[in-house]
Structure 1
């Protein structure tokens, strides 16, 4: 896969992956084409050498290669990322009708940068649970695709301090506007039922029971810049890492290797499908059979937590430590924090630098300014759950948690090449002398 093919498919993946459910759907489609076998957690597994994946809740996935090497003695090469991004989620009773308009009440998911959500062409997607004609409770994904909503800004004439001191009240300022008010009260579930039958005409749905729906920006992912130096897209944090890890896993099956893409990272990872839940450990135990084997295997294993890094913003360079300002298209970033907000240590960072050297790719480092707080990732969580060597890295990005983020158009492919070296590595240990 060359960089053009990589970026073309990446753009398609980002545009189609408008919710975690749709992201996992896109991942499974690519795994199926690559010859991976879908497993169900409820079934007994008979795992010979081969390629497999398992999905939980439709929003988290673990895909893995079982090689001819004994995983107890050779360990696993693992890559972790997350499928969720900050967004606006529709409330259970969302109908808002007044002043001649129909709006939907929303809840902010994760640490969203709210101002960029104004004046965008928004659509709606996610999972709908319904009852069919037989009385069975079913679920299906829907995606309105076309722009059906917007959050209009207040004109500056009505807020003269808007460019100096405008704040966003998430309860009152951001309910999206969908249409003029109808003569009769609008039932949102009836609107969903119509969309469900439009997208899935054979589903025989008769009643919408519940849903998990998110608004998203309809502008497609794109290469931008005078020389197409940048990728602009929603949800780069962290679907970019999911895609890079996916392509690396597909490209190499020489070792026992794993890709885990968890939901709920943006809200703390504590769920049945989050990194602080049992999913990854459960899959590894089923590959290895016994807890004793898991402990032995983890000693020979390593996981790379891939989550975007803060690039040095040319307009706000003072927000970075002077010696640790990653630049776009200058290579993947090793993320370090003395207080274990990132799980990198000198062993794991040295190994990553070695694989960058072998791949012929540059590498950068990020440490947050000492007078600023530091975010975190699934890295420390997974390290504490499994007791495995862990590294935190990411592709440098601008506008993280905005409705549209920016990354370098070369950095994703660069990290893909380094991941190939990692997944093919015969040893992930550092020799003590």
Structure 2
């Protein structure tokens, strides 16, 4: 009886949450020229990242969904604090829900040193459900207008392979130079103004065009789905999807099945173990259905796979913050980089294929748990909660 009541309450809350969604216009950006360095290991990424932060001469803009209240989180914040105290202009934008564990005294120390700290998507009494549910999931950093970072890594011990839950954390992140950095700056300015009503002025820099064609894609309130649909619809030979959560929309699932029937080969790379409750149970029916229609579904088991990628025919790649799930498609504010240079795409595809070799094919026992009753309850709850996971 209590199980049924609980499920009914969750259904009602879910419907309320879904009707509370809103869409707002995001900036659109042209195809630019730039250059990228591709990272899959957090330790190596943050070596470059911290060095670039330390070498900043005028200003730093940092935006993350999660900064953990742990040793490495404090280490990065302390560097920002030191740079602000030395006279560098530092803007820090962090999601209120994602970074909710950050100690208040640490935030106060940052502010006292001169760091301008703002929480994005703060709780609103006027729109309580929407303000809790719609998160800013972006990870953007710009240093002096010349260097930019974008991708799936957050800041904390686990992201440099020092966490308690997973021994290794697999993710994809980009270091960017060239004219594309200007668009990263513009997106940060947009998000800052959206959360503060303050238009910040960042000095412009002369940027090289470099040789990689890429385009920044900012999304919220459902705009990402059309991007994914266009990319998948263009596939002639192969589609490769990497995501820690696989809960596609009805339209995306239908299009993927159409492509499989048309002879397009699809690889889906998914973590063997989950980092959140119900995520596996919500994703499992979709993964099973994709496998039924002929997709090659793989489970990454050498650590936790948190990377987000969509590679089409080895010619176009989408890498960024958005997962292949309903939350990223319809609720979160996300930012991805669409890479249209075949040489750069081959680099990304090479790492993706290497991760495929560190995975095992989907197998029947993976869908089951030792306690069949608990599994059925979790599966039911996961189906109801799938738009929010």
TM-score scaled by length of structure 1: 0.24
Structure (1/2) with the larger helix percentage: 2
TM-score scaled by length of structure 2: 0.26
Rg (Cα) greater in structure: 1
